[in-house]
Structure 1
């Protein structure tokens, strides 16, 4: 099993729609909330064990509002979204893959996906 640094700090920056995560290796990354929600890893959004991750675009802003983040064991974080969706378990490995090589794991990857509710 490979070692993946674990998050030591989550900072939800609501006015920019990003989640800033600091990891145990002192690296900090900004995650676009459209991307995190659109590529939610839960079975409802992705099915069971599919790769590349399928793009499921959020349709309204509340779907990318973070209402809570909880740690899952020693391997993941669960993000609860403003619309009540809370089954996505984002492994630390997945969070780092999203930074290191997103185009290899994400279907139709766009660095800054369009928000359909904005004109």
Structure 2
């Protein structure tokens, strides 16, 4: 189903999609950026996905129709190569909670962070002979 209204939030860099069935979804730039369907994120095949990190605060800065089937988004970090099909956008919106938690879990497992300025600190026991 195609949305009848697409809005990029100038204040927060979000994307809002309103549908004829009354559904309305707003997604943050960070969420859309880390779920971009681009090769940079998805890779060129199964198992080649690249976990995006340090994207907190990334905003959607532009949206343009890509034919009748998709939307091309531009992000504040310069990323603009993902073509978001209408079906993919609706899936991202409807499954936001599940996909976001999965992403956060993957970040935690990898020792990466949403904030680009956060660096892991390894605490070491000065009494340990391994130091």
The change in CA–CA distance for 1:17 and 1:55 in structure 2 (over 3 A counts) is: farther
Partner of residue 116, structure 1: 115
1:26-41 to 2 correspondences below 5 Å? 26-41=22-37
User: 1:10 deviation in Å?
Assistant: 1.9
Whether 1:72 aligns to 2:66 is yes
The change in CA–CA distance for 1:118 and 1:8 in structure 2 (over 3 A counts) is: farther
Whether 1:96 aligns to 2:90 is yes
Query: Hey, which of these two has a bigger chunk of strand by percent?
Result: 1
Which of 6, 25, 32 in structure 2 is aligned with 1:10? Answer: 6
**What TM-score results when the alignment is normalised by the length of structure 1?**
0.70
- Number of residue pairs matched by the alignment: 109
User: 1:87 deviation in Å?
Assistant: 0.5
CA RMSD of aligned residues (A): 3.1
Partner of residue 56, structure 1: 52
Higher relative contact order (CA 8 A, sep 6+): 1
**What TM-score results when the alignment is normalised by the length of structure 2?**
0.64
The change in CA–CA distance for 1:115 and 1:24 in structure 2 (over 3 A counts) is: same
